[in-house]
Copies of this chain bind each other. A is one copy, B any other.
Amino acid sequence: MKLVPLFDKVVLKQLVAEETTKSGIVLPGAAKEKPQQAEVIAVGPGGVIDGKEVTMQVKAGDKVIYSKYSGTEVEIEDEKYVIVKQNDILAVVE
């Protein structure tokens, strides 16, 4: 089963927050914020959307930061994904 996004939609998979901070402190559950880093799983074709040409600038495999509160969470075969518009992706992490 595969998700094929429409238009400027991008399928993301959140990266698991690391359990320890850089300085080695183990974070209890409540101290771990919802991570905003995600890996790009699939990218829509872009094209003319709402009368405007949109070029896709991310590709599958990119690690990205995306905007808090954006996107729709979906669950397919017990795997969770977030589908966002490309415009809700803020930066690529290299």
Contacts and interface: CB of A to CB of B under 8 A. Distances in A.
A80 to B, nearest CB: 11
A84 to B, nearest CB: 9
Contacts of A86: 6
A4 B55 CA distance: 17
Interface in A39-94: 42, 44, 48, 50-53, 55, 57-58, 65, 67-68, 72, 74-78, 83, 86-87, 89-94
Contact of A92 (B6, B22, B23): B6
Interface of A: 1-7, 9, 11, 21-23, 33, 36-37, 42, 44, 48, 50-53, 55, 57-58, 65, 67-68, 72, 74-78, 83, 86-87, 89-94
